[in-house]
Structure 1
Amino acid sequence: MDSISLFNLGGKRALVTGSSRGIGFGIAAALAGAGAEVILNGRDPAALGDAASRLADDGALNVKALAFDVTSEDSVEDAIAHAETEIGPIDILVNNAGMQHRAPLEEWPLEKFRQVIDTNLTSAFIVGRAVARGMIARRHGKIINICSVMSNLARPSIAPYAASKAAIANLTRGMAVDWSKHGLNVNGIAPGYIRTELNEALLKNQEFNSWVEKRTPMGRWGDPAELGGAAIFLASEASTFVNGHILYVDGAFTATV
């Protein structure tokens, strides 16, 4: 018996949205390290090119870049059709694209609310639906939606973000219920506080940084690379009977009061 081979992603192709930096880039690097061909996504071709070069420099053997807007149905449909015909079938999808905005809830602009929902939630539906059609036809596929500790919790000034992350957790369960009969596995990863460019302002805020370190039982922020093992597990044949599950990678943040 060779249990390690269950985690081998050789011969698989993974699309990771919002992967030019941060959590998306960390997950893409992990999947590439497990043998997958990786398709990076973002809206900035130059940033995608830089990210692809960094992965190649780190030893990734087959990296592509695909610029498209995950919130635009037309853009997504065109990009996925191009990927499936010109690059190859997508075996693994990681819906990672996301954004944050902070303000007192009574001052949140409606356009920002809609932007957060569209970027964090609607995009996962649009991209997931487009990719799932090919997976359903092939009777196999892995979809991983990036949730958050805020899928279960809330903090002042980010209620719409928390709402989007709670919704994507239940969208994950709904996708699993609808698509598991077609051979798909759909699960989520819920990161805790991770050191990324998106959180740079929080990392520099001494009071907030201290709160995170005290609130997290492990006493520190996580690194994007620490999400890689969870992503490999959920993308691989090691998780064939795991469906509709949200895996928290948060240093025990949600396990304590």
Structure 2
Amino acid sequence: MQEIGQTALWVAGMRALETERSNPLFRDPFARRLAGDTLVEELRRRNAGEGAMPPAIEVRTRWLDDQITLGLGRGIRQIVILAAGMDARAYRLAWPGDTRLFELDHDAVLQDKEAKLTGVAPKCERHAVSVDLADDWPAALKKSGFDPGVPTLWLIEGLLVYLTEAQVTLLMARVNALSVPESIVLIDVVGRSILDSSRVKLMHDLARQFGTDEPEVILRPIGWDPHVYTTAAIGKQLGRWPFPVAPRGTPGVPQGYLVHGVKR
């Protein structure tokens, strides 16, 4: 599997550790199976004591779960997860019976996940679409049964930081072209304030490409209304952020963002 596929395992491992807390932000009963016991325990050791990382992935996962639920409450029944990795939402969330969910990723990643979840049935109509997001993935998505004529909820989690600015622009143009008004997009964005800080040493080279502290620029120019939140502020609301929360744009404070956009 490619390095990004390995990162998907790491995210699953973090979700497994959160699930095993006494009062978790969410429960992903498949995360340990997807990540593997060895990786989960390695991450547990790494995050012990002073080596603990900010709970950004945990907060992100909970916020996205909540926003998906709100989108379903608005009547959306078509979901697309770009670079799905080891995402188990098709198997763990309570989906309305008529929900259709499309997971896009490299074939090796999708096959690895499906092998590990043998015998587990998704809780919605799930379509695995093997693609390279650098290629014509919209054609593959439509061939798999995607309907561009109905509102869609797009989930773009843990992806943009691996792309160049030009690739992000192309990705969002394609999402926009496939979306009717009232469609929703959920994105996490790494700030340049993080990429340009000393903490960037914690990230491998692939995850050092796209970042912005003005995530609105991703959506406004293509006709979407964005609402931007700092990961720290959401974490504080959830009672899980162990650090002081500075206002957005505070000089010298690295920030990550959670973005909810609606197409006009």
Q: TM-score, normalised by structure 2?
A: 0.43
Larger RCO, structure (CA 8 Å, separation 6 or more): 1
Q: TM-score, normalised by structure 1?
A: 0.44
